[in-house]
Amino acid sequence: MTTHEYEFLTTETVADYVRSRPVLSGRVDPDHLVRVDEIGDGNLNLVFVLEDGRGRRLVLKQALPYVRMVGAGWPMTPERARREADSLRTHRALAGELVVETIEYDPQQYVIAMEDLSDHAVWRHALNRGERHDGAAAALGRYVAAVAFGTSVLGMERDAAAQALARSVNPDLCTITEDLVFTEPSVDAGRNEVLAANEPDAKALAADETFVAAMGVAKWKFMTQAEALIHGDLHTGSVFVRAAESSTECDSVKVFDSEFAFYGPVAFDLGATFANYVFAAARAYAQGDDDRAEWALSLPGQTWDAFAAEFRARFEGVRDGRVWGQAFRETLLDRWLRETWLFAAAKMARRIVGAAKVKDVETLPEALREGAARGVLLAAREAASAWDAPHRPEDFAALAGALLREHRTS
């Protein structure tokens, strides 16, 4: 592993950093900062928000040479910041306002400067507070479709696509996903942990041969199916949402945090959204808020429908219509829906059993968490066993909802 020596930013040094970079000091005045906070709550990086006396704000995200949630004992290439900056720019060129604006990337200190979104909320935080943001799920579907078409050979000239693929190879971050998402839920590498009451559920998952075989298929697809420059970690903590006061309708949705981006299977991003909607539903059912749970379970259908509509619309501009016609387009959509179930199953299991859990479930009192965790694990097993059958996104929500209701605890 290469050693990386560079200065880590602190709340004391960010003003000097901004002063040394003309593009940034044009966005926020480093001599009159009224706010400098480190707000990173993810598993990997430092994130600073700066505000000057004129109310202008800037966000700086710095990649550390290790995994923040563990420390220096888990080295991790800071080059991931370059992949993130590149993918954010590529995705924004295709999906516009649905992606956070990158202002500058500093390859010496692995810092991405981006627009401040303090008037937005991280969607997971909003969901956990019981808030509804309508339109966000459909926006994510449109974003995934824009990226699926626009970064693949369907929408790109073949040499440019090959170069983009080569530039985005991201083995260190992909290895995290391969281990944590596909292998470790059933093969504990010493990082798994559940409540004592859920130990039988985790054991049953690991002993479920159908589930383990499906995870083998999922891992193979993830490692070999280089379809498009996917986000790679599209959970509800990677999305900002904003609604006008006294409205639940989003007026802005912004995807961020794409350091796991690489050329991979399109359905991996869709599966991540489906799994995270299930976590939101699990929390709501556990808290006895069935209306909110049902709303959360309407989100997979919203994401899928918007994805399919946007993909069909963009497909009108397919580069090689000689061989890629409507039948092929529908074949792709059919396969992606099946794979969405498969990847959602992996994502559901990993966040319950493995390292890097989700607050939706983890912050529930233990008595409620037990049933929520059990319901999610059973939904993961059932989705994995049924993934390669023809189905509709609503069937996924129905399957998860029934298990979450049946197994909730009080």
Contact residues: ligand SR1, CB under 6 A: 43-44, 67, 176-177, 180, 233, 356
Residue whose CB is less far from ligand SR1, 43 or 385: 43
Which of these, 393, 380, 371, 385, lies nearest to 351 by C-alpha position? 380
Which residues are CB-contacts of 368 (< 8 A; sequence separation ≥ 6)?
286, 287, 408, 409, 410
Residue 232 interacting with Mg ion (CB under 5 A): no
Instruction: Answer for the pair 49, 116: CB distance below 8 angstroms, yes or no.
Output: yes
Query: Residue 108 CB, nearest distance to Mg ion (Å)?
Result: 23
As measured in angstroms, the least distance from the Cβ of 222 to Mg ion is 17
218 binds, among Mg ion, ligand SR1, none (CB under 5 to 8 A by kind): none
Nearer to ligand SR1, 145 or 180 (CB): 180
Q: With CB cut-offs between 5 and 8 Å by kind, which of Mg ion, ligand SR1, none does residue 356 bind?
A: ligand SR1
Instruction: Give residues 23-62 in contact with Mg ion (rule: CB under 5 A).
Output: 42
The 3-state DSSP class for residue 249 equals: strand
Q: Report which of 299, 270, 274 is spatially closest to residue 376, judged by C-alpha positions.
A: 274
Nearer to ligand SR1, 39 or 93 (CB): 39
Does 185 contact Mg ion by CB under 5 A?
A: no
Q: What are the CA-CA distances from residue 340 to residues 59, 102, 240, 311, 323 (Å)? A: 33, 29, 22, 15, 25
Which lies closer to ligand SR1 via its Cβ, residue 24 or residue 230?
230
Structure-block tokens of residue 55:
């109310």
Choice between 194 and 261, CB closer to Mg ion: 261
Q: Report CA dihedral (70, 72, 43, 13) to the nearest 10 degrees.
A: 140
Q: How far apart are the C-alpha atoms of 162 and 261, rounded to whole Å?
A: 15
CB 351 within 8 A of CB 273: no
Q: How many CB atoms lie within 10 A of CB 203?
A: 11
257 binds Mg ion, rule: CB under 5 A: yes
Q: How far is the CB of 64 from ligand SR1 (least distance, A)?
A: 12
**Of ligand SR1, Mg ion, none, which one sits near residue 176, judging by CB under 5 to 8 A according to partner kind?**
ligand SR1
Closer to ligand SR1 at the Cβ: 178 or 395? Answer: 178
Q: Which two tokens stand for residue 33?
A: 């900062």
Smallest gap from Cβ 128 to ligand SR1, in A, equals 16
Give which of Mg ion, ligand SR1, none residue 59 binds (C-beta under 5 to 8 Å, depending on kind).
none
> If DSSP codes are grouped into helix, strand and coil, which group holds residue 272?
helix
List of residues contacting Mg ion (CB under 5 A): 42, 257
